[in-house]
Amino acid sequence: MSGSLRSSQWYSGDDRNAYIHRAWMRRGVPGDFSGRPQIAIANTASDLTPCNAHLNEVAQSVRNGVYEGGGIPLELPVVSLGETQVRPTAMLWRNMAAMATEEMLRANPIDGVVLLGGCDKTIPALLMAAASVDLPAIVVPGGPMLTGHFRGRPLGCGTDVWRLSEEVRAGEIDESEFRRSESSMIRSKGHCNTMGTASTMALVAEALGTVLPGLAGTPAPDARLLEAAHDSGRFAVELVAEGRTPSSFLTKASFHNAIVALAAIGGSTNAVVHLLAIAGRLGVDLTLDDFDRIGADVPLLVNLLPAGVHLMDDLHRAGGFLAVLREVKDLLDPSALTITGRPLVDHLDDARIWDADVITPRDSPLQPSAGIAVLRGSLAPGGAIIKPAAASPRLLKHRGRAVVFSSIEDLHARLDDPGLVVDEDSVLVLRGCGPKGYPGMPEVSNMPLPRKLLERGVRDMVRICDGRMSGTAYGTVVLHVTPEAAAGGPLALVRDGDWISLDVRARRLDLEVSEAELATRVVDAETSDGFAKPRRGWERLYVDHVQQADTGADLDFLVGSSGPAVSRESH
111 touches ligand FES (CB under 6 A)? no
- Residues forming beta bridges with residue 403, ordered by sequence position: 428
Among 6, 36, 106, 191, binds ligand FES (CB under 6 A): 191
Can residue 187 be called a binding residue for ligand FES (CB under 6 A)? no
Q: Which stretch binds ligand FES (CB under 6 A): 64-72, 190-198, 226-234, 520-528?
A: 190-198
# chain residues binding ligand FES, by CB under 6 A: 10
Q: How far is the CB of 339 from ligand FES (least distance, A)?
A: 24
Among 198, 229, 337, 549, binds ligand FES (CB under 6 A): 198
**What is the distance between the alpha carbons of residues 337 and 480, in angstroms, rounded to a whole number?**
31
Cβ 365 vs Cβ 301: under 8 Å: yes
Smaller CB separation from ligand FES, 145 or 288: 145
- 83 lies in the site for ligand FES, by CB under 6 A: yes
188 binding ligand FES? (CB under 6 A): no
Residue 101, SS3?
A: helix
Which residue, 194 or 407, is less far from ligand FES as judged by CB?
194
90 binds ligand FES (CB under 6 A): no
Identify whether the C-beta of residue 116 lies closer than 8 Å to the C-beta of residue 140: yes
CB of 191 to ligand FES, least distance (A): 4
Q: How far is CA 110 from the centre of its chain?
A: 26
Distance between CA atoms of residues 557 and 535, nearest Å: 20
User: Closer CB to ligand FES, residue 158 or residue 214?
Assistant: 158
Question: In angstroms, rounded to a whole number, what is the distance separating the alpha carbons of residues 41 and 101?
Answer: 11
Are 355 and 317 contacting, i.e. CB atoms less than 8 angstroms apart?
Answer: yes
Task: Classify 429 as helix, strand or coil.
Answer: strand
- By CB under 6 A, the residues from 243 to 302 that bind ligand FES are none
Determine, following the binding rule CB under 6 A, whether residue 119 of this chain makes contact with ligand FES: yes
Euclidean distance between CA atoms 530 and 510, whole angstroms: 24
Distances in Å between the Cα of 434 and the Cα atoms of 93, 329, 377 are 14, 36, 18
Q: Does residue 51 belong to the site contacting ligand FES (CB under 6 A)?
A: yes
How far are the Cα atoms of 359, 372, 385, 561, 565 from residue 271, in angstroms, in the given order? Answer: 21, 10, 12, 21, 30
- Choose the binding region for ligand FES from 191-199, 219-227, 448-456, 554-562 (rule: CB under 6 A): 191-199
Q: Which is nearer to ligand FES, 119 or 204 (CB)?
A: 119
Nearer to ligand FES, 84 or 562 (CB): 84
Give 265 or 493: the residue with its C-beta nearer to ligand FES. 265
Least distance from ligand FES to the Cβ atom of residue 433, Å: 19
341 Rama sector, left if φ>0, alpha if ψ -120 to 50, beta otherwise: left
Task: Decide: is 91 part of the binding site for ligand FES (CB under 6 A).
Answer: no
Q: Are the beta carbons of 145 and 220 closer than 8 angstroms? A: yes
Which residues fall within 8 angstroms of residue 236, CB to CB, at 6 or more apart?
37, 39, 62, 65, 66, 69, 71, 112, 113, 114, 136, 137, 138
Per CB under 6 A, the list member of 9, 12, 84, 184 interacting with ligand FES is: 84
Cα-Cα end-to-end distance for the chain? 27
Rg (C-alpha) for the chain, rounded Å, is 24
* One of 65, 136, 154, 196 touching ligand FES (CB under 6 A): 196
155 binds ligand FES (CB under 6 A): no
Query: Does 120 contact ligand FES by CB under 6 A?
Result: yes
Q: Is 230 a residue that touches ligand FES (CB under 6 A)?
A: no
Closer residue to ligand FES in complex, CB, 311/492: 311
Interaction of residue 141 with ligand FES, rule CB under 6 A:
no
Which residues contribute to the site for ligand FES (CB under 6 A)?
51, 83-84, 119-120, 158, 191-192, 196, 198
